[in-house]
Amino acid sequence: MDGSAFPPAWPERIRALARGELAVVPPKPAATVLLLRDGADGGDGGEPMVHMLRRRTSMAFAGGAYAYPGGGVDPRDEREVRWAGPGAAHWAAVLGVPEVSAQAVVCAAVRETFEESGVLLAGPEDGTVVEDTTGDDWERDRQALVARELGFADFLARRGLALRSDLLAPWARWITPEFEERRYDTWFFLARLPEGQRTRDVSGEADRTVWLPPSEGVEGYGRGEMVMLPPTITMLRDLLPYSSADAALAAASGRDLTPVLARAELDASGDVVLTWPGHEEFTRVVRGLPAPPSDGPASGGECR
C-alpha cells in the first residue's frame, strides 16, 4: 500500500480513450516550483528541506494529494516584465518552446509561488531579492493576483521589481495523461527560499503546508500516509541524492526535460495497461469491463 493518487474516474475514461470514444482535452501550460532550504546543519540529516502543501479534498484536480506551489499560465503572463537574469531567449532554448511561451511559463512559476506560499522571487535590481512579503499591503496584492484582478506584470512594475529568473532551475516536465478531464503541460523548477522570506499558509487550495526532508516524504508515501501523483513523488525521489539545496540546484543544468506522458494501451486480454515511460513503478492494469446487468449500464473497470 502506498500513497498513489489514481482518481476513481480513471478506469472508465481510460477504456473510453482506448475505444476512441473520448475527446482529448489539450493540456494547459503550467509551472510548479519546489522551494528548498537547508536545515540548521546545512540540511536535515544531510538533506535539503522541501516545501509541500496538501490540496483540499474538495479540489477538482488531485484533491487530498500533496503537491508543490504551482498552477496554470495566465494569458497575462505573456506581457513583458522587467527581468534580472537569463532572458526569454535563454528559457526558450532550455524549455524547447517559443520565447513568448517560455516567458509565460517562467512568470507563472514566480507568480504562482507568491500566490500559494507568499514567497516572491523578485528584487529591485540585479542580484537583489525582497526580504519580507508579510505586510498587509503585500497580502492585498497577493489576493488581487489570486483573484486575477491584478496582472503579474503590473504588480512588479508598480513595486519597481524585476523578476529573478536566475533563481529558478529547471528540473522536469510532465504532461497530464490524455484521459484526464483537466490536463496540464507542467514544467517543474527548483528555487532556494530567499534570505529573509518565509513561506506562509495562504493557499486557498491547501489545508496543510509542511517543510520536510525528501526522505520523509518518500517514506510517508510508501506507508500510504501521504497521497501524491506520480510526478510529485518522482520529484521527491530525485532530490534524495543531494545533501543541500545548493547541491540540488547545481545539478539542474544536467536534467532531462523530455516530457513524461502516461500511455494507455489495450493488451491481448482486453485489459488496459497504463504506463509512464521511464517510470515503470506506476504501471497499472485496468481490468476489462464486466458484462452489463440486465437492468442497467456496465460498471467501471478495476484499476490496480
pTM, entire model: 0.88
Q: Is residue 298 predicted with pLDDT exceeding 70?
A: no
Segment 276-297, tens digit of pLDDT: 989 998 988 877 644 334 444 3
Give 242-268 pLDDT, tens digit per residue: 999 999 999 999 899 999 998 887 777
User: Helices 99-117 and 152-159, interaxial angle, to 10°?
Assistant: 70
**3-state SS of the chain?**
CCCECCCCCHHHHHHHHHCCCCCCCCCEEEEEEEEEEECCCCCCCCCEEEEEEEECCCCCCCCCCEECCEEECCHHHHCCCCEECCCHHHHHHHHCCCHHHHHHHHHHHHHHHHHHHCCCCEECCCCCCCCCCCCHHHHHHHHHHHCCCCCHHHHHHHHCCEEEHHHCEEEEEEECCCCCCCCEEEEEEEEECCCCCCCCCCCCCEEEEEEECHHHHHHHHHCCCCCECHHHHHHHHHHCCCCCHHHHHHHHHHCCCCCEECEEEECCCCCEEEECCCCHHHCEEECCCCCCCCCCCCCCCCEC
Residue 15 is predicted with a pLDDT of 79
Q: Which three cell numbers stand for residue 149?
A: 484582478
Q: Count of residues for the chain?
A: 304
Render pLDDT for 108-124 as a digit per residue (tens, 0 to 9): 999 999 999 999 999 99
Structural domains of the chain, ranges and CATH numbers in brackets: 23-260 (3.90.79.10)
Q: Residue 267 and residue 146: Cα distance in Å, rounded?
A: 44
Lowest-confidence segment of 87-96, 183-192, 248-257, 264-273 by average pLDDT: 264-273
pLDDT given at position 122: 97
263-266 sheet: strands from edge to edge: 263-266, 272-275, 284-286
Least confident among 130-144, 195-209, 210-224: 195-209
Q: Of residues 63 and 256, which shows the higher confidence score?
A: 256
Q: What's the burial of 179, exposed, middle or buried (CB within 10 Å: 0-12/13-18/19+)?
A: buried
Residue 303 binned pLDDT confidence (cut-offs 50, 70, 90)? very low
Q: Which of 114-118, 171-175, 206-210 has the lowest mean pLDDT?
A: 206-210
What pLDDT shows up at residue 46?
82
Q: What is the mean pLDDT of the chain?
A: 86
